Structure 1
Amino acid sequence: MKDLVNKLYQNNTIIYKVILFLLTTIAIVYLFPKGGQFKYDFSNGQLWKYDNLYAPFDFAIQKSEEEIAIEKKEIEANAKLYFNFNSSVIDEVKNAFNRRMILFIENDSLSIEKINKLKRNGLKTIEEVYKTGFLEVISQDRVSNKNELVAIRKNNVVEDVLFKNLYNSSEILHIIKKNLGSEPYSKEQIKVLDILAEIIKPNVIYDSDFTNKIIDTDAKNISYTKGKVSEGELIILKGGIVEGKKLEMLNSLKSESESKVWTDSNYNWIILGYTILVALAMLMLLLFLKKYRVEIYNNNNTVTFIFFNVFSMIFVQTLVIKYNPDYLYVVPLSVLPIVLKAFFDARLGLFTHVLTVLLLGYIVPNSFEFIYLHIIAGIVTILTVSELYKRANLFISVAQITLIYMITYFAFSIIKEGNASKINLDYFMLFAANGLLSFLAIILIYMYEKVFGLVSDVTLLELSNTNSKLLRELNEKAPGTFQHSMQVANLAEAAANEIGANSMLVRTGALYHDVGKIVNPMYFIENQTTGVNPHNDLSPRDSAKIITDHVIKGVEIAKKYNIPDRIIDFIRTHHGTSTTYYFYVKEQEQNPDTKVDIKKFQYQGPLPFSKETAILMMCDAAEAASKSLGKPTAQSISDLIDKITDKQMADNQFINSNITLKEIETIKKVIKKKLMNIYHLRVEYPE
């Protein structure tokens, strides 16, 4: 049991990666569409590159979304409008007229005959107005063609009438006057006219709810098919152009095939297929990290970060497709390479982006177009996005990425359609939105720095500010060390630029690599301005301990000031496992009869594990050693640099760094040139 626990402890990083790998694979497979994949890839206007295709079974030819939309619009345009006929209004108006006439009779001394005549004319007017119906004002403009039939609902009975037969407000006064007789009117007739004009009100109202209900019912009854293909019927010949009816049959066959594939009997097989494909992609990512990015692979935090970003992009793209596939290209997949390049490097960013796009090919329509477009955009992202701490750079890069999206889509469109007139301009708006959303990379980079403890160029720029709190303290307490760090930073930055390493990272690391000397600044020669050397009062072993402890103290101080781990790595590794040779020799001289343990005079490491940390080790040793040259010459500097570098290589200090001999030689040349410039030297030519 104890052995098992020990093995688990020793292999905990591998176990973590296996669990992360499995969880990510399962999560991505879960996001995949719940349907099979059609085994043919095609698009409008392309040649059919497969063998002759015959219908494997009977299936209906489905109408396109455009055709269905047109039919629905036709239903709406030709739909009969329904109006409610309110019969109770007639009784209300008649009762109101009778009441008003009683008051009218009481106040006027008219004969019974005249009163009855006025009353008959009034009731006749009411009957005529409501015989077909009186439209409310807001319903009068519902129909443009007045000869159109509309449906009138009277007590659940529907009757078709011509719209022009329904009275509107402008016709009511004419009907009243017609029934009252010829003008000029008497005082009594005018009063009746006023009463009728006041009490007559609309009783026919447009019923939008019922009309829409009928339209919806008719729309639901639309046939979504327009023909049938029988089993064995030829669909398309090899080399034929996918267009017209052939395209319709292929789309219908694809839809029918995918719905048939996803059944209970083969559900597990399809899941297995998806799992294998996703697992292979994620495995390739892990193998890439293990072979080419060992420092990232060995750090579970960074591996988790990369896997999380891959899953996040697939998750967001899946949500958009489920919501509306038309918004497919609004998802800014270029954010992935931008973020990964900001924290790691371009090669890893592009490799991860390509794998992510390939995985998304399973869930997007027109997968070839999607994959090609996004891979090209990803390459442009890697080539253009650099130095994110310069705000203008991201704006320029996003503009270039957006332009590439548009150009590539334009090319695909004219290939499909054969001309530029049918290009969907909405996609250009989507690409513009994609570009705007790409600026989210800045926010994500900031968030990831806080959550995952990573470091971007923006943070490096902030840390490299010599007015930062820790660097100010270094300058105040150990001014000689501060000047040394500045010189090393300049050397390291120039060397990194020359071999294509991360110059901003190595410069920042160089500025902080000796912060541990703040603790005992006077024990380091660059800070001894009084001529007093405190090492004279110490044993060589104690002196060596103070010297080597500046690495440990530096790590502690950096953590106290919340310096990121990537910068602390430079503090840990800038001496590797080298020896404080001066004190080691001195100890041997003082104790000639005793075997001196060299480990007591060595730094504890670790060794440099990247190009950047290797550059710092070389530049730090070179700059410090150059101060020991009494009268530096071009030759003495060159010999010194060769000697230091050869010793470091002999001690295997660069064995864990992915740095080549050619790059080491290039770095040496840069250091020599820079030191000669510092000491204002030039190569002496023979006479």
Structure 2
Amino acid sequence: MASKQPSKLSGFVYSNHGWKYSAITRYTLFVLLGILFYVSLSPDLLPKRYDIKENTYSAKEITAPMKIPDNKATLKAQEEAAEQVQPKYKIIPTRSENLVTSLLDRIDRLNQDDSISQSDKTGIYREEIPQRARDFLLNFVSSSRSTNAYSEHLLDEMQSKIKEQTYVIPEETFIKIPRLTSQDIIEMKPVAREIVIRLMNDQISDAQTARAKVAELVSVSSLTQRTAREVVQELTRLVITSNKFYDEDATKEAEVQARENTPQVFIEQGEVMVKKGELITPELYKFLDENKLLRNEVNYLPQLGLLLLVAMLTFGLLTFIRYSGTSGFKYNNSQLLMLVLVFAITIVSMRLAAYLQTDARPYIGFLAPVAIGSMLVAMLLDISLAYFCSILFAILASIILNVQQNTIFDFTFGFFVLIVSYVAIFATHRAGQRSTLLKGGIMVSLFGALTVFILSLLNGGVWKEVDTLYALGFSFAGGLITAVLVIGLMPFFETTFGILSALKLVELSNPNHPLLRKLLTETPGTYHHSVMVGNLSEAAAEAIGADGLLCRVGSYYHDIGKTKRPFYFIENQNDMENPHDSIEPKLSKSIIVAHARDGVEMLKEYKLPKPIRDIAEQHHGTTFLHYFYHKALRLAEDKGCEPDFTEEDFRYPGPKAQSKESAVVGIADSVEAAVRSLRKPTVSQIETMIEKIIKSRLDDHQFDECDLTIKELDTVSRTLKETVMGIFHSRIEYPEDMRKPKKEEGAVKE
């Protein structure tokens, strides 16, 4: 019997019996999980490279593996932006009103000099007035250069333009100027200054346009003398020049700014870069080479980095499973295969969301039901494993759902997945009804939306208001999708892998189940016994960290085989003779031990999970039927013949308990039957009886094939004692000093 026992080493069950305990299969599954990690992460971490030649036609369509800068398109966009820049002009105030004042002052002084003839004055004016105008401009330019008030290009442009638009005073005006008196000039000054100021306040690109307005302004002025009006008109036209000049430097600077402000043009991820059959021109070949999309030179560093990352993730999971020491996860290959499938489903859901993601809509990633893996692991396998897997899911999501080009991991999605996964585990790991999964999904939705809102605030409103609302909506919908998928996948995993989840156990504990209804109606005594065993075994199992719910439900079905011959079992014999009194002990033994085998067959017929069947088959182990053995000995002695049987013929066929749950149910079964046989049990009787039952089974090697420890057996003994006294409180006789009320005890002490 001992050779059938699978031994444990570092958390794994080792056995040569079947693929479920094969070491080769186990490590093959971990290799498969590593391959899954590699395939799922390679599109994000490994750059695609193509083996193409210059001046050939592409055999395949090449799409951008990531967001790639398009320098050619960017340069074109920059030039277009520069071309759209309007020429920049600069207004340069030359204070031409001062020039016209100085000209009139010079005329006043020269006209008052009687030593100079009229004709000489005319000649002086013909030479001096244009020259003063030129000198005024030269002096302005020179002073501007010395003070760096304007750029060289702008001053050159000013000189050139004013020179081109120089006004030539008619000859007759020079003849009329000497006729002006001082009084005339006094009247002319304010009029001339006002006209110049008024016209030069406007932006003048063409001086001729402004000069055309002078005649009208002079005609409406206060001047009445014809000569004065004509001279003011001509002098004003002379001093009026352009004041708006093309600024080459400012225009170039604006073009530079336009180029710099032009955003970089990108080829979006997934966008077609090269069509199938397109000619690979030298320019296109260079572009592909610059973006490292050609297989010109071998670079194994990214592959090595990804392999090391995959090895780290896989080895971390392997190490956790080996050394976590959890009791709820039995570590057989069937469960490891289920774990691989859970990872595959979770990764596929992330990939689908990533396929819909774009740089403009990164929030679509929150729609992925990322908590589905943690929820399934928590309910189907083990809660501590679920917490560890949540960390792996967060790492995978931060890579797969990352839309940032400058980082490998996106903290936003990693943190989001970690929070919703932990919430999912907390909300559903003890789920006893399918509706609890929906409630858990709502919890995931609420906490997911809250996490997104917090991240948005911490990022300083990195998303727009509308984008934030979309992110909140997608995260909320992702939680509901998670609940729907888990509800749909749970029956698949339970049926395919024979997993007995808490949900399934609660369903099996329903009294309306056909077998439990049969047990109640046909064998009410056995039914009551099974319920009591369920209460005892559940308390004991939870005390040692075993599956208490499995013990309780398994206890309900452990004696279902008694329904085939109900009256051969004492709990169903009400006011009737015991049929065993009239039959051979060997036949009685066969009937008694058959109930375990019959129960397994009935449970198989109704397709109950294997852990329930195991409890029904193993709860008696290979225990010895003392009563019928000794009865057979007495009969043989009475007949005066040697016994043709041994003790082994009066044992249950087994197998012995293979799990803690089967062992605990077997102990609770014996304890309940023993307590029920006592008329007025006392505390000391119960303690002695429980210790005797456990010691008897321990001495009989009934626990050799399960992993119960001596310490755990002590805990089981103590818990059963407390539970029995709680259940049978009214029947147990306590010592006198224990039965005295507290008030009376206090009086005695006093």
CA 1:382–1:295: 2 relative to 1, 3 Å: closer
Q: Does 1:336 align with 2:345?
A: no
Alignment check: 8 A CA contact 1:286 1:297 kept:
no
Alignment partner of 1:346 out of 376, 379, 383: 383
- For 2:70 and 2:468, the matched residues in 1 are separated by 20
Identity rate, percent: 30
Q: Does 1:403 align with 2:455?
A: no
In the other structure, the counterpart of 1:158 is: none
Q: Within 5 A, what are the aligned runs for 1:120-269?
A: 225=264, 260=292, 263=295, 265-266=297-298
In the other structure, the counterpart of 1:368 is: 411
* CA apart distance, 1:553: 1.3
When the two chains are superposed, the root-mean-square deviation of aligned CA atoms in Å is: 4.2
Range moving further from structure 2, 495-504 or 455-464: 495-504
Range moving further from structure 2, 383-392 or 555-564: 383-392
Q: What secondary structure, in the 3-state scheme, does the structure 2 residue paired with 1:388 have? A: coil
CA 1:542–1:445: 2 relative to 1, 3 Å: same
In the other structure, the counterpart of 2:472 is: 428
Q: Which amino acid aligns with 1:632?
A: P
Q: Does 1:33 align with 2:48?
A: no
In the other structure, the counterpart of 2:97 is: none
Q: Max radius of gyration: which structure?
A: 2
Q: Does 1:465 align with 2:516?
A: no
Q: What secondary structure, in the 3-state scheme, does the structure 1 residue paired with 2:400 have? A: coil
Q: Does 1:379 align with 2:422?
A: yes
* CA apart distance, 1:427: 1.7
* CA apart distance, 1:310: 0.9
- For 1:283 and 1:656, the matched residues in 2 are separated by 30
Q: Any stretches of 5+ residues in structure 2 without a counterpart?
A: 1-13, 48-66, 85-260, 267-287, 403-408, 741-750
* CA apart distance, 1:308: 0.6
CA 1:9–1:494: 2 relative to 1, 3 Å: closer
Q: Does 1:632 align with 2:674?
A: no
Q: Any stretches of 5+ residues in structure 1 without a counterpart?
A: 1-6, 39-59, 79-221, 228-255
Q: Does 1:507 align with 2:507?
A: no
CA 1:624–1:268: 2 relative to 1, 3 Å: farther
Alignment check: 8 A CA contact 1:350 1:379 kept:
yes
Range moving further from structure 2, 339-348 or 353-362: 353-362
1:432-478 deviations in whole A, cap 9, x for unaligned? 11111122211221232333333333332222122221122223333
1:537-573 deviations in whole A, cap 9, x for unaligned? 4444443333222211111110111112232122122
- For 2:450 and 2:290, the matched residues in 1 are separated by 32
CA 1:633–1:259: 2 relative to 1, 3 Å: farther
- For 1:373 and 1:407, the matched residues in 2 are separated by 10
* CA apart distance, 1:591: 6.2
Q: What secondary structure, in the 3-state scheme, does the structure 1 residue paired with 2:652 have? A: coil
In the other structure, the counterpart of 2:568 is: 523
- For 2:567 and 2:459, the matched residues in 1 are separated by 76
Q: What secondary structure, in the 3-state scheme, does the structure 2 residue paired with 1:34 have? A: helix
CA 1:608–1:381: 2 relative to 1, 3 Å: farther
* CA apart distance, 1:524: 1.8
Q: Does 1:315 align with 2:348?
A: yes
Alignment check: 8 A CA contact 1:278 1:359 kept:
no
CA 1:504–1:603: 2 relative to 1, 3 Å: same
Q: Which amino acid aligns with 1:552?
A: R
- For 1:582 and 1:259, the matched residues in 2 are separated by 87
- For 2:500 and 2:16, the matched residues in 1 are separated by 29
1:225-251 deviations in whole A, cap 9, x for unaligned? 389xxxxxxxxxxxxxxxxxxxxxxxx
In the other structure, the counterpart of 2:657 is: 608
Q: Which amino acid aligns with 2:478?
A: N
Q: Does 1:675 align with 2:724?
A: yes
* CA apart distance, 1:315: 1.9
Alignment check: 8 A CA contact 1:495 1:671 kept:
yes
In the other structure, the counterpart of 2:163 is: none
CA 1:466–1:360: 2 relative to 1, 3 Å: same
Alignment partner of 1:479 out of 516, 519, 524: 524
In the other structure, the counterpart of 2:310 is: 278
- For 1:351 and 1:588, the matched residues in 2 are separated by 59
CA 1:267–1:456: 2 relative to 1, 3 Å: farther
Q: Which amino acid aligns with 1:319?
A: L
How many positions carry a matched residue from both structures? Answer: 483
In the other structure, the counterpart of 2:625 is: 580
* CA apart distance, 1:574: 1.5
Q: TM-score, normalised by structure 2?
A: 0.56
- For 1:315 and 1:386, the matched residues in 2 are separated by 23
Alignment check: 8 A CA contact 1:35 1:259 kept:
no
Q: Which amino acid aligns with 2:553?
A: T
Alignment check: 8 A CA contact 1:386 1:393 kept:
no
